[in-house]
Amino acid sequence: MIKKIAKIITWIGIAAWFVVVMGFVSGESEEVLCNRIDVILEDSLQSRFVTRNDVRRMVEDTDAQLQGYPLSQINTRSLEEKIKESQFIKNAEVSKDISGRLEIRVEQRVPLVRILPDGQRGFYLDTEGKVLPLSDRFTPLIMLASGTIPSPGKSGNTKGRLEEIYQFCKFLETDQFWSNQLVQIYVNRQGEYELIPRVGAHQILLGNMDQWKKKLRNLELLYEQGFAKQGWNEYQTINLKYTNQVICTKR
């Protein structure tokens, strides 16, 4: 019984000590000044739309009092919302610690496909289907889609043909063979899709997007079986418009 009481008293003492220490730390943190601002850019290998200096300028534009001022007065949520106003930034997290350090961690959007519509200014679709403007600073090596493609609506959402292109490119991104083999998508005036391969001097006529996964599977079988014997440059066009057959035209 005595041991049990002693154990309880010990835990009460530890809890009281913890409360005192946390109160001390909290009080100290009220007086800590911001002496350092670190900007961390994630996905910097895939996206280089913004730089650390860009992020610093975004923060400076808020007129917030940061370096040299108490951390307790810094509104991290307000800074995060300001940074996320950039179309190229997916998320921002601002944190501070008792050493006086303010950390700004930024996640950039990752471009999936570059869209170049006939007679219109181009744009990107990112991996979430969001429309991004072209950048003078960074041109990623990604899938290109051109031809008769509509511009995005005012809301910036993908609809109709843009949604088809997004879903198609999203699949290509996850498939090692097709992501290496296909380099461009062209939409003709009839709204049919033509694919341009990296290897082989042939044109791939996909037609519409109905059952496009099955069409690609048929083409993959042709590559594996037919081209292994005939070679990649034997044909001029490969027609996949009809779901259950592949029509090849020789040179």
188-224: per-residue pLDDT in tens?
999 999 999 988 788 999 999 999 999 999 999 888 8
Superfamily of domain 111-250: Cell division protein FtsQ/DivIB (3.40.50.11690)
What is the structure's pLDDT at 249?
86
What is the distance between the alpha carbons of residues 189 and 107, in angstroms, rounded to a whole number? 38
Cβ contact 92:83 at 8 Å? yes
Task: Give pLDDT, residue 211.
Answer: 93
Sheet (strand 143-147) strand order = 131-133, 123-126, 111-117, 143-147, 182-187, 193-197, 203-207, 235-239, 247-250
Element (H, E) at 13: helix 2-31
pLDDT at 1: 58
**pLDDT at position 24:** 40
Q: How far apart are CA 107 and CA 170, in angstroms?
A: 20
- Which pLDDT does position 152 carry in this prediction? 80
Neighbours of 164 (CB within 10 A): 20
* Positions in the chain whose pLDDT score sits under 70: 1-30, 44-45, 153-159, 228-232
> Which tokens belong to 76?
């991290």
Quickly count helices (H) and strands (E) in the chain.
7, 12
Q: What is the pTM of this model?
A: 0.80
CATH topology (fold) of 36-108: Ubiquitin-like (UB roll) (3.10.20)
Within 8 A by CB and 6+ apart from 109, the residues are: 47, 49, 87, 88, 89, 90, 126, 127, 128, 130, 132
Domain ranges of the chain: 36-108, 111-250
Residue 147 to residue 193: CA distance in whole angstroms: 9
CB 224 within 8 A of CB 183: no
Residues 209 and 187: their CA atoms lie apart, in Å, by 11
